[in-house]
Amino acid sequence: MNIIIALQAKANQGKSTTISLLRPMMARLGYAEIFFQSHGKDFIAVFEHPVTKHRIGITSAGDTLDLVTKRLTELIAHGCSICVCAARTSGGTVEAIENLSGYAHMYVPKTSAVTEEEQDAANDHDAETLLREIEKRI
């Protein structure tokens, strides 16, 4: 089943930072990174599972309808059946995710924190949650 897993929160809550934590986590589990491209502060990456060969796409972009649509379309063109992205709580980013045909979608709420130390722990926790959701679908 094709799915988009979106880490969802208001602006400046650490969504992109959390999604960037997935890259080294997946590498440690043996996923092969077969594509990576930096887009300023954001990125797009494609991983392949070492056994099943499922492709998982990750993009940290999640600010606008156009940007989310463009990055998810790129991941789909790379053959990704699982895509991870950032999304706001409403508006264009949610619309972009829900308008992609052939892909189910789920939203993972971003854990909020007050202090920098709490934010680091929340980001790690949320990255692990995203990874579990990916692994459920492999």
Express each pLDDT in 22-38 by its tens digit: 999 999 999 999 999 99
Cβ atoms of 103 and 6 closer than 8 Å: no
- In this structure, are residues 68 and 60 in contact, taking their beta carbons and an 8 Å threshold? no
- Show the tokens assigned to 17: 């930072």
Q: Which residues pair with 86 in a beta bridge?
A: 7
Whole-prediction pTM: 0.94
What would the mean pLDDT of 108-117 be, rounded to a whole number? Answer: 92
The pLDDT of residue 45 = 98
Six-digit token pair at 29?
């589990």
Quote the pLDDT of residue 130: 98
Average pLDDT (71-86) is: 97
pLDDT band at 62 (very low <50, low <70, confident <90, very high): confident
- For the record, the structure tokens of 18 come out as 């959390």
Averaged pLDDT score across all residues of the chain:
94
* Phi, psi at 16, each rounded to 5°: -65, -40
Of residues 114 and 123, more confidently modeled: 123
The answer to whether residue 5 scores a pLDDT higher than 80 is yes
